[in-house]
Amino acid sequence: MPSSKFLAVSAVSLAGLAQLVSAQTNITASTCVAESVYSDCNRNVADKWRSCINNCNGNGDCIVDCGCTAHQEYINCMAHSCWNQVYSCEYQLFVQQYFAVCPSAAEPIPFWPAPDNAPNRCSCSLGKVLTNTLSARKAQISCVNNITSQALNNIPDLSNLGNIPDIARTATECACCGASASMSSAWEVCPDTIPTLAGVNLWPIFFPSNLPNLYTSVPDFTWSTCDSSLSSADCANLGFSDTDNKFYKPGDFPKNGTSTLHNVAGTVTAPPSGTVITWSQASATYTVTATGYDRKVVVSGTSSGDGIGSGSVSVSGSGSEAGVTATANAAAANGVGLDVGSVGGLLGLIVGGLLAM
């Protein structure tokens, strides 16, 4: 029987596959600077993705890797032949999805987040909201690692038994501060947007990827119980930050925005990062040359949009031949995680260690 880990990975991969169909449909080929080239590129990526999954023979890690590569190649399609739409809600949502389904995904990503005053940009800076969520996740991991070290240092000395409640309290503060830092950014970055569309619900998607049981393992943790923890916690001192150093408590958020996602007026008339870009993720480095920059760009209007390694991006001058090349990158992802994923279990670790002395 397949392991629970395999089933979980497979479920995520299948969910990502289903979501991708929607994401790619939302990026309408007819709005791209090179419509037929973009359509062919997408079709080629979809075919390779399907073949990759079939060749995995049910291996969950392999399926996830296929999804990572496919998402990267879809981004290449955008940079190659639909660069006039890379600031749109559709592309920004697609990058958000890439981080959600690919554990090794890492900043920077081409054209993301969109510049504040970019033409045809999304009405809500979804990239900034997700960047804050990813930053909160890193702080969450660091916070938990610090607590783990503190707990282990307490084990040999029985006189430190009285510190256990403090450690448990700090563990809860880590969870509450991380959730608040992520959610607060939806209101701070996009105050006029409906919070669920702005990304208020991103935190439970991203945090479990490194600490799978973090929130469920903290004793009695639910977001609604964070009021008292956030009243006494110094989240900034624990390593957390958000756009304006605001960590809202449950029931203390500003008034919800009412706007849906839409693309503001404007037209991207030239490849935003130059005609040639080079970018990398954990397993590959890509060089992409834009096409269609000598053609009349489709004028962009206003449309609605429905609504986690190491990486780099560099740009260079013009190129005369359109294409995408990829080279293997031996650098491993710089992800940090705790397989135990159990903050609440720290109490058992401490007590068990003391009893074993």
How far apart are alpha carbons 309 and 105 in whole angstroms?
6
Summarised one tens digit per residue, pLDDT across range 78-132 is: 999 999 999 999 999 999 999 988 989 999 999 999 999 999 999 999 999 999 9
pTM for this predicted structure: 0.75
pLDDT tens column, 197-250: 999 988 877 764 455 555 555 545 678 889 989 998 999 989 898 655 689 999
pLDDT score recorded for residue 125 = 97
pLDDT digits (tens, 9 = 90+) for 122-176: 999 999 999 999 998 889 888 878 887 776 666 555 555 555 567 778 888 888 9
Q: Which residue has the higher pLDDT, 193 or 20?
A: 193
- Structural domain boundaries in the chain: 4-112+122-126+262-328, 128-259+337-356
Q: What pLDDT digit, counting tens, does each position of 274-324 carry?
A: 999 999 998 899 999 999 876 655 444 444 444 335 565 554 444 333 466
For 150, counting Cβ atoms within 10 Å of its Cβ (0-12 exposed, 13-18 middle, 19+ buried), the class is middle
Main-chain dihedrals φ then ψ at residue 101, nearest 5 degrees? -100, -10
Give the Cα separation of 184 and 316 in Å (integer): 37
Token pair in block for residue 25: 């449909």
What does the alpha-carbon distance between residue 82 and residue 86 come to, in Å, rounded to a whole number?
Answer: 7
